[in-house]
Amino acid sequence: MLNHASFREWLVWREEGQDDRFLCDPSGHTLLAFWFCRQEGKLSRQQTLQLGHHILKAHIYKGLSKKRGVSSSILQGLWMSYSTGRLCPVLSSLRNLYTPNIKVSRLLIMGGANVDYRTEVLNGAPLLCVHAHLGHKDAVALLLDHRAQVDAQSHDGLTALGFAAAAGHLDIVTLLSHHKAKVIGHVDSSGQCVLILAAQHGHLEVLRFLLKSPDWSCTSCCNQRGTSRSQAVQQALIAAASMGHAEVRNSR
């Protein structure tokens, strides 16, 4: 019923004299976007996210790209930047971290939000690290597409690859690796590399993928210089055994 053309028509149009209950304005998103812009002062983080949603739905700049030679995405991003104090805190707000709106996030980035901005969670982790930890592949891809630093670290020294490996998100580990994230040669503040992090949490498929890295001969891994692949496997087995992950040991 909700998808029927006659019902949609009834929602947006009535004949003169008909009951106007439940009547919807077809330009509602446009009106709401302008309403947010007319508020006193700058918008809050939540209001800015709502504004972005209505701007995208309104399609106000549709068709202007060819006429003006300016992308509608740029114009929408400028609108966002003029309506709020800073876009970075909006992009890194808890709502957008844990339930990210990819289209609105892209709009915020187009408006000038810093893709390497440090958040208030995971000990000051950059945006890329948080989304990698939470398993938000689309958000990770968006940040990488806009040239986020793939090896940016939290205050604990963990990179996005480390967070993804520890959480067992193989798809994100693969994506980060394709963007040249350091699989070897980096340890966190506890002296652990991504291989150890994956093994400690029993993520066998991630471990197998990481072990496909072509070069283990010139790295400083787990506080050991010149660690070979066999030494790395040994370290991973010790880490897995310490946490009781027998499946990692048996798969060697």
C-alpha span between 20 and 1 (Å, rounded): 20
Q: 108 CB contacts (<8 Å, ≥6 apart)?
A: 48, 52, 77, 80, 87, 90, 91
Per-residue pLDDT at 217: 45
Number of domains present in the structure of the chain: 1
Number of residues written out for the chain: 252
C-alpha span between 42 and 118 (Å, rounded): 22
Query: Which amino acid type is present at position 198?
Result: A
Q: For residue 82, tell me if it sits in a domain.
A: yes
Per-residue pLDDT at 218: 40
Q: For residue 138, tell me if it sits in a domain.
A: no
Q: Facing residues of 225 across strands? A: 220
Specify the DSSP class assigned to residue 120: S
Q: Tell me which H or E stretch contains 221.
A: strand 220-221
Among positive and negative, which fits the CA dihedral 104, 47, 136, 147? Answer: positive
Q: For residue 159, tell me if it sits in a domain.
A: no
Per-residue pLDDT of the chain (252 residues; tens, 9 = 90+): 556 667 666 666 667 778 877 767 667 788 888 888 888 888 999 999 999 998 998 888 877 777 777 888 888 988 898 888 899 999 999 999 999 999 999 999 999 999 999 999 999 999 999 999 999 999 999 999 999 999 999 999 999 999 999 999 999 999 999 999 988 778 888 888 898 899 888 898 998 898 887 655 444 444 454 456 666 777 767 666 666 665 655 555
Token representation of residue 237? 């087995």
Q: Are 199 and 240 in contact (CB under 8 A)?
A: yes
pLDDT in tens, 165-184: 999 999 999 999 999 998 87
Token representation of residue 145? 């597409």
Q: Are 234 and 252 in contact (CB under 8 A)?
A: no
Nearest to 58 by CA among 95, 102, 107: 107
Q: For residue 55, tell me if it sits in a domain.
A: yes
Burial of 72 (0-12, 13-18, 19+ CB in 10 A): middle
Per-residue pLDDT at 60: 83
Say what percent of the chain tops pLDDT 90.
43
Q: Facing residues of 43 across strands? A: 84
Specify the DSSP class assigned to residue 1: -
3-state secondary structure of 215: coil
Nearest to 210 by CA among 242, 244, 246, 239: 239
Q: For residue 195, tell me if it sits in a domain.
A: no
Token representation of residue 135? 């398993």
φ, ψ for residue 79, nearest 5 deg: -60, -45
- pTM of this structure: 0.82
Token representation of residue 103? 């289209």
118 CB-side CA count, 13 A: 10
Q: For residue 75, tell me if it sits in a domain.
A: yes
Q: For residue 213, tell me if it sits in a domain.
A: no
Q: For residue 152, tell me if it sits in a domain.
A: no
C-alpha span between 222 and 191 (Å, rounded): 5
- For 106, the domain range is 26-35+44-60+70-113
